[in-house]
Amino acid sequence: MPQTVTINRIIETVGRGEGNRIIPMLRVEFMVGQHGPFSQEFPREGFDARAARTKLEEFARQLEQLSQGR
């Protein structure tokens, strides 16, 4: 069972989009169990919290697989 994803904070920032134009972003800082902090950025426009949570949980599953390979 993957470890719990805990979101520490969400920060508004900017990133580079298509054609190198500046776009608003949301940086989600989170922990996976006691590991981290990690961060993932998502475009602010059209932000989907469920899709973001799914992506973070997939990352947690990948970490779990990595740690089982010891």
Domain boundaries, the chain: 5-68
Each residue's pLDDT tens digit, 40-52? 999 999 999 999 9
Taking 70 as the threshold, does the pLDDT of residue 35 lie above it?
yes
pLDDT at 2: 61
Structure confidence at residue 15 as a pLDDT band (50, 70, 90): very high
Taking 90 as the threshold, does the pLDDT of residue 3 lie above it?
no
Taking 90 as the threshold, does the pLDDT of residue 66 lie above it?
no
Integer Cα distance of 31 and 21 in angstroms: 30
CA atoms lying within 13 Å on the CB side of residue 47: 17
Taking 80 as the threshold, does the pLDDT of residue 54 lie above it?
yes
